[in-house]
Structure 1
Amino acid sequence: MRRWMRPAALALALLAGAGTTGFTATPAPPAAAADPPAAALDPGLAAQVDELARAALTDGVTGAVVGISDPVRGSYLRAYGTADTAGTPMTPDVHYRIASVTKTFTAQAVLRLVDQGRLSLDDRLAEYVPDVPHGDEITVAHLLGMRGGVYDFVADEEFLARYAADPLLPGWSPYDVLEIIRAHADEATPPGRATVYSNSEYVLLGLVLERVTGRSAQQVTTSVIEELGLPETSYPTTAALPEPFARGYVNTDSELAPTPPGAEPRDVTLSSPEVPYTAGAVVSTVPDMVRYAEQLATGAGLAPETARLRQEWTPLTSTGVRVQYGLGVLRLGDWVGHNGSIFGYSDVVTHLPDQEASVVVMVNAADGEAVPADDLWAGVVRLLYPDSLPTW
């Protein structure tokens, strides 16, 4: 079974052809500096993007948004379909849950602390969170790079059943994740041996942030978002989404929460941010993510050496399209960014450094296992940048 907020599905899609924290480091340049160029995408290419996006409106997806920024080809921002099953038109400025793209903000917060000397990449997890299997060997760098060997809590069958039944999960906290990790101690592996995607490692980083700063992970992440100048991006404290927002649905072909025959897709717009926590709680819009994609890929807000370390890649796949992981950032072929899937929403946020181009897509149906946005992203990228997805 594929896992909640896991990017591995991207490789499959590509193979198929488809408050303050006390930070004082130099702030990132304001978002306005990274606004898309004024030129528009060629009408012929735009029509082909439209065709790809409309084809993605299936299996419970009622709407999608595509954002492209390219200094040569031009910019493109368009919404498709509807924001809900009632027929409300989708608009480009809708808020949605960015799922695992949240991990990039968590990593940014951790790396800012490293730049300030308040945390070291070599610090052991046990200094901050006790009783985690191999915690005296796992470093902060291991956690950032998905190399900690920590059991992924979303693989726990009891958790999956509870979450599928009620994404609000009243009373849930990150400490429930710790209990799951400890209960699966025999499934942990020593750190540093392989790069294996685990949402647990980013929950643990959230607890590290709280321990080091004395503030909530939500407050720390909010400070990072504000420093990057992303006005429509937020770490919510409730299950509600800011207006305007797209309603989110479970994809009708989901194996985790199947839709009964003849029924409309299940509405899962409301879900607790405490469940994904620093592995997936952040909310944004496609225009904000288009600006952020370049910031993420160029190391905005980080010391140059830290930004370089962030993009020391290790492989997540061994065949097909090259998929690698850095410190809270994915490399998808030649693209730098991240993707995500959570109940109701799926997205891909990427930047192609050698062409200074960004491509962001979102769709409003997912179950946290499948990543429906991957197929749309791969189609757009293959159309516009056919040589940007090298294989192993």
Structure 2
Amino acid sequence: MPSPGTPSVSSFPEPGTQNLDPARAKALQAALAQIIKFPESPSGASGATAAVVTDHWTWSGAVGEDSRGTPLRPDTSLGISSITKTFVAAEVLRLAQEGKINLDLPISRYVRHRLTANDATVRQHLAMTSGIQDFQQSDYERLNRAVAAAPGKHWTLAQPLNYYTSTIGSPDGDYSFSNASYALLGMLIENVTGEPLAVALRRDLATPAGLRHAAFQDGEKPEPPVVGDANDACGAPDGYIPCRAFASSGAAYDGAAADAPTVARWGYQLYGGRVIPSDLVDQMTAGDGEYGLGTMRFTREFGLGDAYGHAGISPDDTSLLVVIPDKRVSIALILADGDRNIGRRMDDLTEALQPLLG
């Protein structure tokens, strides 16, 4: 249930389908263009795409180019990194509502693995309070070398956990970012549904939300046009972002790809209570800190009211989904370069957006 003081999410109406008038959209495009003025700066990039979905209108735009010099389009598919976690969390909550799992039982009831032996519950893994910290930097380095050795290989959800060496703590309620927890949650979904993760997420979430241009790699390939990536370890492009081995090794925590309009639509449909019931959205967005269940809580961070969503940061891309329920607006921003200060650029977009919301 929501914590005291956490506003309950009410269902949004149908998302708007009318394109924002071009004259009014100039301010949004101008804010987007600022990103490529100084592409090497901490908040710059060689290219970016963005989209806004409201209950009255939509807008999307693109500037610059990808790392291979191809101009970006609003419908270019890029990696969305940790925004993947919003899909995994929504699916786990949906399974709980159907009575197939219990969020407050140990995840070991559903996943037998050495990382589930500390009796942390499913809910604690969703909230990243399970005592399972993230991979250490040395773990990632060893994992990346193994992935790069065979860029066309399919990795199961469990295989990356073989490289996990962090100390397993007790589920004491302290928040600690953890990709490992979401690998385990992906395994839970596969074990409970009896289907590959991509199949479950497509059927239960993406199709009902109308997300034709989302791809759950490597069960699905991204829709073209696909961003060109400069990841030397991948070799020749294979249709995945950045390539099959990297995409599949992080499938449950950063493997999804999409274009900006799709990400914005997903945020509107999810946090607007249109793809899972509002009471489940309340659980996702509840909490006293910066993280709910598969959801970042952006309290007054972007100047338009309390907001929810998720950031995604990788060496190849940087993404941010922000939904402001009071304004019934969802905003997606994706940069074609990794490890950038995307929050500053989202500030620019929301400042330009504010006069357009009435």
Q: TM-score, normalised to structure 1's length?
A: 0.74
How many angstroms apart in 2 are the aligned matches of 1:144 and 1:312? Answer: 12
Q: 1:378 to 1:35 in 2, by over 3 A?
A: same
The separation in 1 between residues aligned to 2:54 and 2:274, in whole angstroms, is 19
Which residue among 207, 217, 240 is the counterpart of 1:226? 207
- Structure 1 gap ranges (5+): 1-27, 251-256, 258-267, 316-323, 387-392
Q: Tell whether 2:332 aligns with 1:360.
A: yes
Instruction: Give the alignment partner of residue 340 of structure 1, picking from 301, 312, 319.
Output: 312
Is residue 193 from structure 1 mapped to residue 173 from structure 2 by the alignment? yes
Question: Alpha-carbon deviation of 1:148?
Answer: 0.8
In the alignment, structure 1 residue 374 sits paired with structure 2 residue 343 = yes
8 A Cα contact 1:203 1:278, kept in partner: yes
CA spacing shift, 1:35–1:246, aligned 2, 3 Å: farther
Give the alignment partner of residue 138 of structure 2, picking from 157, 171, 195. Answer: 157
How far did residue 103 of structure 1 move? Answer: 0.5
Displacement of 1:65 in angstroms is 0.8
Classify the secondary structure of the residue corresponding to 1:34.
coil
What amino acid is the match of 2:31?
Answer: V
Provide, for residues 136-174 of structure 1, a one-character-per-residue CA deviation record: whole Å limited to 9, x for no partner: 521111111111110312x24043255168553846433
Match of 1:269 among 242, 247, 251: 242
Q: Tell me: CA distance 1:242–1:68, structure 2 relative to 1, closer, same or farther (3 Å).
A: closer
Residue 196 (structure 2) aligned to one of 201, 216, 233: 216
SS in 2 for 1:328: coil
Alignment correspondent of 2:227:
246
**1:340–1:371 contact (8 Å) kept in structure 2:** no
Whole-angstrom distance in 2 between the partners of 1:343 and 1:169? 19
What is the match of residue 325 of structure 1?
291
Distance 1:229 1:149, change over 3 A: same
Instruction: Report the Cα distance in structure 2 between the residues aligned to 1:286 and 1:38, rounded to whole angstroms.
Output: 15
CA-to-partner distance for each residue in 1:210-241, whole Å, 9 max, x for gaps? 11111111211221211221111121327964
Alignment-mate amino acid for residue 325 of structure 2: P
Partner-residue secondary structure (3-state), 1:325:
coil
Pick closer, same or farther for the CA change 1:54–1:371 going to 2, 3 Å. closer
Verify: 1:114 aligned to 2:96, yes or no. Answer: yes
1:19 equivalent in structure 2: none
Please list every run of 5 or more consecutive structure 2 residues that lacks an aligned counterpart in the other structure: 1-10, 234-240
Q: Tell me the residue number matched to 2:78.
A: 96
- Distance, in Å, in 2 between the alignment partners of 1:134 and 1:46 is 46
Structure 1 pair 293–36 and aligned structure 2 pair: CA distance change class (3 A): farther
2:49 is aligned, of 38, 43, 65, to: 65
Residues of 2 paired with 1:47 and 1:151: CA distance?
Answer: 39
- Match for 1:191: what amino acid? P
Distance across 1 between alignment mates of 2:337 and 2:155: 23
DSSP 3-state at the match of 2:319: strand
Instruction: Note the C-alpha offset of 1:82.
Output: 1.7
Q: Deviations over 1:103-153 (max 9, x none)?
A: 111111111111111111112111122343563521111111111110312
Q: What are the superposed Cα offsets for residues 360-392 of structure 1, whole Å, 9 maximum, x if unpaired?
A: 1111111xxx24433322332345459xxxxxx
SS of the residue 2:14 aligns to: helix
In 2, the alpha carbon distance for the partners of 1:47 and 1:277 equals 32
Q: Distance in 2 between matches of 1:37 and 1:95?
A: 22
Rounded to whole Å, the distance in 1 between the matches of 2:126 and 2:347 is 26
Cα deviation code 1:76-114 (max 9, x no counterpart): 32110123433x321111011111111111111111111
Q: Is contact 1:210–1:216 with CA below 8 Å preserved after alignment?
A: yes
Check if 1:295 corresponds to 2:275: no
Provide the residue aligned with 2:5 in structure 1: none
Number of the residue aligned with 1:23: none
Alpha carbons of 1:91 and 1:238: their partners in 2 closer, same or farther (altered >3 Å)?
Answer: same
Is 1:179 aligned to 2:153, yes or no?
A: no
- In the superposition, relative to structure 1, how do residues 136 and 360 fare at CA in structure 2: closer, same or farther (>3 Å)? same
- Secondary structure of 1:174 counterpart: coil
The separation in 2 between residues aligned to 1:46 and 1:216, in whole angstroms, is 39
For normalisation by structure 2, the TM-score amounts to 0.80
CA 1:286 to 1:134, structure 2 compared with 1: closer, same or farther past 3 Å?
Answer: closer
CA RMSD of aligned residues (A): 3.1
Indicate conservation of the 8 Å contact 2:153/2:244, yes or no: no
| Contact 1:209 1:217 (C-alpha < 8 Å) held by counterparts | yes
Q: For the structure 1 residues 301 and 240, does the alpha-carbon distance in structure 2 shift closer, same or farther, using more than 3 Å as the test?
A: closer
CA offset at residue 56 of structure 1? 5.8
Q: Does 1:123 align with 2:92?
A: no
Q: Which residue of 1 aligns with 2:7?
A: none
